[in-house]
Amino acid sequence: MPSKIVWCDGSEQENERLAEEMLRDGTFISLNEQTYPSCYLHRSNPNDVARTEGLTFICTSQKTDAGPTNNWMSPEEAKAKVRPLFEGAMKGRTMYVVPYILGPSDSPYSKIGVEITDSAYVVANMRIMSRMGKVALERLGNSEDFVPGLHSLGDLQPDRRFILHFPEEKLIWSVGSGYGGNALLGKKCFALRIASAMARGQGWMAEHMLILGLEDPSGKVTYMAAAFPSACGKTNLAMMVSALEGQGYRVWTIGDDIAWMHVGSDGTLRAINPETGFFGVAPGTNERTNPNIMDALHKNTIFTNVALTSSGEPWWEGLNGTAPKGITTWKGESLSSKTAPAAHPNSRYTVPASQSPSISSHFGDPQGVPISALIFGGRRAMVAPLVYESQNWQHGVFVGSIMASETTAAATGAVGVTRRDPMAMLPFCGYNMADYFAHWLEMGAKLKNPPRIYHVNWFRRGEDGKFLWPGYGENVRVLKWMLDRIERRADATETAIGNVPTPESLTLDGLSLSSQTIRELLRVDPNAWAEESQAMGKFYEKFGKRLPEPLHQEHQALDARLQQSSIPVK
Ligand code: SAT
Ligand code: MN
């Protein structure tokens, strides 16, 4: 029952009009026009600052099709429960119709969605994050092949908030949140949850992965895709300024969050980025950790829940020293306590990808880029070494399936708790995860030259509790080792979990790491891994008989190798 309906065309004029309206009603706060032209601050409701996984449902007719790792409601129950929350929700408000393309507008791999929303903030974000408006309607033409998404802010109360996915109907309903992944329905809801279910049926993959190109001194670019849980550094890795630039190694960005991957006509795995922007975590972002994004953030950017300086600039913890005098917190208050952060830990920027100096010339390539390496990574203080390589595709799928990571502020709930997060898809897989593992195994067989599969951990800590690895731009050294493995010029030590670099095979010049630190970074402790293996077994039990047999076999083989090898074999 909206009082007004706006069909969004994605034009500059429309964007300006919406921004003016939001400035008038307080949804947007303007920033310093000199240093941050066309940039805005949005403060969300303090109870609506992250994805709410407990309120996110996969609504399939059979419960087992959602699987043991998803919340489930039957489609009938879900609709009966949530329809009343939508009834009259837009009374007196404007309803926006937002058509968008996920993927390059001329790519055979792209898909169309239409989001209906009563949030102008969502419209402004969707315009940065996707190819929105006229271009999408033109591609759609008379076709009915699009994913409808219904969104309303509702009353923003968590007990009246639901993020519902109907993979059988390819439909999304979201009510009660205006935040990121809950409300920008093209992102996690379509591009991951609905798309993963579509991809399984259609023989492709929708993954929670960044896509980057590593250029070598000869100018050749090797593409890699990497899965890390939310707020574990995908954006920073994808946009990195390489510490080995002097030696001719550069990183080019294709995407920072989602990869859609198809088997190309040449038998390679081709990846496109369905998105056109970055919705990245602000805290910790600075000139050292991500100089490219710092460059990009100074125009046409929406900041959400960051702090505001007295000169009208955005600020967050980790930007530069301590909070400047006169700062206003993300809640719009003056900073009273020294312990409470000024910016919310999950505060974000929404910035057009095209503004990054690191953007690849293949960013909009309709055929995507050929992927030579897949990388899994978590945030682990212990156990997982800096990097290891799987033996083959099946072993690599096993490695992805047993991934674990410490939780972050990207979702509501406790932070720092280790949880199993297979392929970084735990919150994003739109169907039974056991079937998802089976789909991964099947995809390998369709590829002529399946990518090598690696696991990395930038977050290992020493006995003093400090990170052992410097991370950020130095991570290129690990990417270079992968490239050298692919090109068969780097050595590795075979261990129970996979191939670990020999210290000599890593390019570490210019880094002042002691040989002891390097040994600790690469160490595979059979006792710690035996414990890890038990945790894997517990996790696997959830899936019962549905878990693919090859993964059971890989798990048993790991146990056997762990028992044999307290000492690594050469
Ligand atoms: O809020 S989002 O889901 O878009 C960000 C994230 O958690 O990755
Ligand atoms: Mn993400």
pLDDT digits (tens, 9 = 90+) for 192-217: 999 999 999 999 999 999 999 999 99
Distance separating alpha carbons of residues 19 and 124, to the nearest angstrom: 8
Instruction: Compute, in angstroms, the gap from residue 568 CA to the centroid of ligand 1.
Output: 39
Q: Atom 3 in ligand 1: which residue has the minimum CA distance?
A: 181
Distance separating alpha carbons of residues 351 and 329, to the nearest angstrom: 21
pLDDT at 195: 99
pLDDT at 444: 97
Instruction: Compute, in angstroms, the gap from residue 230 CA to the centroid of ligand 1.
Output: 6
Q: Assess whether pLDDT exceeds 70 at residue 406.
A: yes
| Encoded amino acid at 224, one letter | M
Answer for the pair 41, 150: CB distance below 8 angstroms, yes or no. no
pLDDT at 324: 94
Looking at residues 459-476, what average pLDDT do you find?
96
Looking at residues 529-555, what average pLDDT do you find?
97
Q: Assess whether pLDDT exceeds 90 at residue 7.
A: yes
In the chain, % of residues over pLDDT 70: 99
Q: Assess whether pLDDT exceeds 90 at residue 565.
A: no
Q: Assess whether pLDDT exceeds 70 at residue 569.
A: no
**Phi, psi for 516 (deg, rounded to 5):** -70, -45
Distance separating alpha carbons of residues 332 and 466, to the nearest angstrom: 34
pLDDT tens-digit map of 228-266: 999 999 999 999 999 999 999 999 999 999 999 999 999
Distance separating alpha carbons of residues 234 and 209, to the nearest angstrom: 8
Secondary element (H or E) of residue 272: strand 269-272
Tokens encoding 53: 């996984």
pLDDT tens-digit map of 378-401: 999 999 999 999 999 999 999 999
Answer for the pair 489, 216: CB distance below 8 angstroms, yes or no. no
Instruction: Compute, in angstroms, the gap from residue 209 CA to the centroid of ligand 2.
Output: 8
- Ligand 1, atom nearest to 179 Cα: 1
> For the purposes of burial, counting CB atoms within 10 Å of the CB of 216, is it exposed (0-12), middle (13-18) or buried (19 or more)?
middle
Q: Which residues of 430-460 are buried (b: 16+ CB within 10 A; e: fewer)?
A: bbbbbbbbbbbbebbeebeebbbbbbbbbbb
Tokens encoding 196: 């993963």
pLDDT at 19: 98
Looking at residues 58-68, what average pLDDT do you find?
98
pLDDT at 165: 98
Residues contacting ligand 1 via CB (< 6 Å) = 51, 180-181, 187-188, 230, 279, 410
- What pTM did the predictor assign? 0.97
Ligand nearest the Cα atom of residue 408: 1
Q: Which residues contact 495 (CB under 8 A, 6 or more apart)?
A: 388, 524, 565, 568, 569
**Phi, psi for 461 (deg, rounded to 5):** -115, 150
pLDDT at 570: 44
Distance separating alpha carbons of residues 59 and 66, to the nearest angstrom: 7
Answer for the pair 134, 100: CB distance below 8 angstroms, yes or no. no
Residue 182: closest CA among 413, 428, 422, 417: 428
Instruction: Compute, in angstroms, the gap from residue 178 CA to the centroid of ligand 2.
Output: 17
Distance separating alpha carbons of residues 272 and 291, to the nearest angstrom: 24
pLDDT at 251: 98
Mutate-to-test residue for ligand 1 from 192, 193, 230, highest number of ligand atoms within 8 A of CB:
230
Mutate-to-test residue for ligand 1 from 161, 177, 188, highest number of ligand atoms within 8 A of CB:
188
Report the chain's mean pLDDT, rounded to a whole number.
Answer: 97
Distance separating alpha carbons of residues 530 and 84, to the nearest angstrom: 50
Angle (nearest 5°) at CA 306 between 325 and 40: 105
Beta strands in 60-153 (DSSP E): 71-72, 94-102, 111-117, 131-132, 147-152
Instruction: Compute, in angstroms, the gap from residue 230 CA to the centroid of ligand 2.
Output: 5
CB 358: neighbour CB atoms within 10 A? Answer: 23
Ligand nearest the Cα atom of residue 281: 1
Ligand nearest the Cα atom of residue 305: 1
Beta-sheet pairing, 29-30 with 40-42 = antiparallel
Looking at residues 353-367, what average pLDDT do you find?
98
Instruction: Compute, in angstroms, the gap from residue 64 CA to the centroid of ligand 1.
Output: 26
pLDDT at 394: 98
Q: Assess whether pLDDT exceeds 50 at residue 362.
A: yes
- Ligand 1, atom nearest to 180 Cα: 1
Question: Using 50, 70 and 90 to split pLDDT, how confident is the model at 566?
Answer: low
Q: Which residues contact 201 (CB under 8 A, 6 or more apart)?
A: none
Distance separating alpha carbons of residues 202 and 555, to the nearest angstrom: 29
Mutate-to-test residue for ligand 1 from 56, 179, 279, 408, highest number of ligand atoms within 8 A of CB:
279
- Catalytic site residue 39? no
Q: Assess whether pLDDT exceeds 80 at residue 318.
A: yes
Name the active-site residue from 39, 189, 232, 429: 232
Looking at residues 321-339, what average pLDDT do you find?
91
**Cα 325 from chain centroid (whole Å):** 34
- Ligand 1, atom nearest to 410 Cα: 7
Q: Assess whether pLDDT exceeds 60 at residue 186.
A: yes
Residues lying with their CB under 5 A of ligand 2, a single-atom ion: 230, 257
Q: Which residues contact 399 (CB under 8 A, 6 or more apart)?
A: 376, 390, 453, 455, 497, 498
pLDDT tens-digit map of 333-359: 999 877 799 999 999 999 999 999 999
